[in-house]
Structure 1
Amino acid sequence: MTDRSEVDVVRIKLGSDKPAPQPDALGRDRIGFAHGLPTAELWERGRGVWRARLDKVSDAQLLLIASGGIVVMAGSISGVTFHDGRVAITGLPDPTHPLIGQRDPLDNSSANPVAYGRLETAPARHPSQRALSEVLNDAIATLTEAGRQRRPRLHQTPSGRLEPHPTESDPVDWAEFVTLALAGAAANLGGIERALAGRPGSWEAAKVEDLLYATVGTEPSDLWRHRTEPVRVVVDVDEILATRTDALSQYDDAEQAIDAQVEQAEKADPAPDPASYGWVYEVTGPNELTSADPAAPPWSWEAWRSFQDTEWGEWTDRIERDIRAGDTSWRSLLIPFSPEAGAEYKRLSDARESRLDRIRHQFEQLDAQKRREWDTYGEAIARAVEAGALAVPGLQAPVEVTLGSDPALPMVEHLIDPLAEQLLDAAIAATLSPADLPGTPLARLAEEAR
């Protein structure tokens, strides 16, 4: 048994590769995900800089970097560095981590690239396959049972009618049974070539190939009438739009544009100066807070707590606990000159945040619009898959379309159903994506607001 333990995780979702806005806090020329990046560069692109919750980051031990719904890098978290209101995560990448290549375990519909969660360290696994010897024994038993089957022998009655003989029978056509079983299995596996991929150059493969083509014909489509398993098509909208269209990149650009609006508003509407309303104490060490104002009284946790909102009790406890333990993430704390000064500072700060929140609200609106467009696209793809299945010659097996990722389906390339991939590829080619909609995501958001 594999020991399992839970770890707190920060997930960073990367957009597409693009030039980094300059100056870049980490000195990078490019940001976003691109295939083939060295470990160190991919780690640099993923670890910063982000607007993140310090309490969540400080609790986390594992950083996951994802793109297109897949984990592309993982590593440990040892701390953060601060860059103009944002943070960069510090730690060490682990390019051998078992979650790399798996589906993003914290994937969600939010446009926010940062997500938090708790995971078991042991990765999810697909059901283990039975030993091939067991499968062979079952196949032999089935073929043996089929070979012992009997079919009625027809005879002519005195009246001239053909009827089953009351006591005599003939062996079943075992050769026909075997060829039909092979044809059905090959169809379920996705084709004759796929069925023989284990050792295609062998004499056994050549003989079975001849037998199958003699059974089903030379046209690949003739095989599908023998299929018995459902064709399971998973329409993973996030993965499709991230890897096959520019839709995700367009939304990344829209988020950056809103981010720029927020930063511009923060500069144009500066926060009230705390030194005008109280004494500012810098955190200079474990449980050590000092003020540059010589008139400031000695630091007092009781005095500081008396000016905190009661609904912030958990945060108040957390800040005090962290600073007493030596955490310098909290750079400074304020003790107002008086209750009236504290109330005025809070009123001005809250009013500014309210003004900024009106701009930040665009993030939520953008998320909602993105989800609507993603959902509409997924439903259109599903309809196109179903329409395409009706056009597959001879296909009688049901086609099951699932919207969203399906962890029960194999991710290993050689186990993916070629017919399902064929139907999905054709549906994608025939369906307009959100990247094809008129205007930019922000322009569509503004048009909807009118």
Structure 2
Amino acid sequence: MATSRLVELIDHYRSAHGVSEAEVARRIGVTRENLRKWRTKGVRRLPDRANLVAAAGVIGRPYREVLSAALFDTGYLTAEQTEQPRPYGEVLRDAIAVLTEATHLTNQPMRQDGSGGWEPNPDPRAALPIDWAEFVTLALAGAAANAGGIEAILAGRPGSWEAERVRQTLQSTVFDDKDLIRHRTEPVIVDLWVDSILSTLGDPTDDEYADAQVELDGRAAAIPQPTDLPPGPFSPDDPRIADEPWIEVDNNGYLVTGLAGWSGDDGDVALLAELWEEARSYREPTSGEIAYEQAMESISALVDALDQQRKREYAEYAAQLTDAIETRLAGLQLSVPVTVTIAAAPETWEHGEFDKHAPPPYPRNAIEDAVEWAITYTLTPAALPGSPLERLAQDR
């Protein structure tokens, strides 16, 4: 069963802040056992609104995001619905509603009590409206920090007069890009593939391993074929073979199979197994065949060992780079959860995924600067001594 999206949001907060499961449950207003059921059995019933509001406040995520995660877990939203951006008009109406709500917020002034201390003035007539302009400016700064910078939120029409006014407002609010980051409310997620990083760097590691594979292929091709073969057991007149276009018999009576005419159904598979079993039982392998098979098995073992070495070196590089990025990001003193995931690319991926997991070519903010710095100063496997095959020989 897939992990609950609501639990994933909670776990991001717990891992970033080191809070126990029992303490998070207490703050949200549910039992520890209930939180464990969400983890093991999924969120089967929509939690109470008070619990969702509390969860949003505890983990520092927007209520809408927490609600959407709970609706998805309970089946009220599909993956397609949660991934599609909301319409412009709907988002605009929500923004207007929030800004309008802010106009009704008040600050409760303090008053001196009879003992000389200070207490909130309980008289509602003493309430003062909040600094609404500050509220709007802080909201703009948070949006810019979440989007990746001032220029990122103005990319839709950077030359407009509206964009210039927003830029001036933000530049008067924050000192620099690092100061802008303190307004960020969304978690920082760095999710990169080693292969994508190396490609972006123009690093030769992949090419070196490709060259090593070509060399092993050449060694396999150079192994002499056995010449001491006696005549094979098959005849072109064999009725099992004559009716199958994908099977031929060479001049020495040995099977030659191909794809042309091969159906891949159970009948063809069973026939092929029967023929090969007959060929194996026909005679004992010759000394030449034994030597050939041993040589090919040796090459095959090298190919497997080379692949394991590449995976090991990529994993070591990923671990070192993860530490470097986390250390660099820690220097920014971010107040939001940070997740850094560096891993080798999967065997297959969807179109566009390779580039999606590559670092941006030009850093746009302090977070991307930190990632670029770590990538620049973390040595790749290409810096290891010798070629991949030379390193493999030393380890064997």
TM-score (norm 2): 0.63
Counterpart contact for 1:156–1:163, Cα < 8 Å? yes
User: Which one of 141, 147, 153 corresponds to residue 97 of structure 2?
Assistant: 141
Q: How does 1:333-348 map to 2 (within 5 A)?
A: 342-345=282-285
- Which is further off, 402-411 or 175-184? 402-411
1:356 aligns with 2:334: no
User: Which one of 172, 190, 195 corresponds to residue 153 of structure 2?
Assistant: 195
**Change over 3 Å in CA distance of 1:278–1:188 after alignment to 2:** same
The alpha carbon displacement at 1:398 in A equals 2.6
| 2:221 aligned partner | 263
The alpha carbon displacement at 1:344 in A equals 2.3
Instruction: Determine what percentage of the aligned residue pairs are the same residue.
Output: 36
Greater helix percent: which structure? Answer: 2
Equivalent-residue separation in structure 1 for 2:385 and 2:250 (angstroms)? 56
The alpha carbon displacement at 1:178 in A equals 1.1
Equivalent-residue separation in structure 2 for 1:215 and 1:290 (angstroms)? 80
| 2:334 aligned partner | 395
Greater strand percent: which structure? Answer: 1
Equivalent-residue separation in structure 2 for 1:262 and 1:293 (angstroms)? 25
Equivalent-residue separation in structure 1 for 2:115 and 2:146 (angstroms)? 47
Equivalent-residue separation in structure 2 for 1:334 and 1:389 (angstroms)? 62
Runs (4+) off by over 4 Å: 272-275, 282-286, 288-294, 319-322, 332-336, 345-348, 405-410, 416-420
**Change over 3 Å in CA distance of 1:127–1:419 after alignment to 2:** farther
Q: How does 1:196-275 map to 2 (within 5 A)?
A: 196-217=154-175, 219-244=176-201, 245-265=203-223, 267=224, 270-272=225-227
Code of the aligned partner of 1:207: R
Counterpart contact for 1:282–1:290, Cα < 8 Å? no
Code of the aligned partner of 2:340: V
Figure out how many residues of one structure are paired with residues of the other and give that number. Answer: 293
Deviations 1:73-132 (A, max 9, x none): xxxxxxxxxxxxxxxxxxxxxxxxxxxxxxxxxxxxxxxxxxxxxxxxxxx999211111
Q: How does 1:297-336 map to 2 (within 5 A)?
A: 317-318=268-269, 320=271
User: Which one of 103, 118, 123 corresponds to residue 162 of structure 1?
Assistant: 118
The alpha carbon displacement at 1:272 in A equals 4.8
Equivalent-residue separation in structure 2 for 1:190 and 1:254 (angstroms)? 41
Code of the aligned partner of 1:271: P
The alpha carbon displacement at 1:143 in A equals 1.4
Secondary structure of the structure 1 residue equivalent to 2:119 = strand
Equivalent-residue separation in structure 1 for 2:393 and 2:367 (angstroms)? 38
| 1:445 aligned partner | 392
Equivalent-residue separation in structure 2 for 1:293 and 1:334 (angstroms)? 20
Unaligned runs of 5+ in 2: 1-79, 256-264
Deviations 1:41-77 (A, max 9, x none): xxxxxxxxxxxxxxxxxxxxxxxxxxxxxxxxxxxxx
The alpha carbon displacement at 1:335 in A equals 7.5
Secondary structure of the structure 2 residue equivalent to 1:232 = strand
**Change over 3 Å in CA distance of 1:291–1:396 after alignment to 2:** closer
| 1:97 aligned partner | none
- Which is further off, 365-374 or 418-427? 418-427
Equivalent-residue separation in structure 1 for 2:237 and 2:130 (angstroms)? 91
**Change over 3 Å in CA distance of 1:355–1:377 after alignment to 2:** same
Counterpart contact for 2:324–2:378, Cα < 8 Å? yes
Deviations 1:203-259 (A, max 9, x none): 111111111111112x22211111111111113112112342110011111111111
Secondary structure of the structure 2 residue equivalent to 1:281 = coil
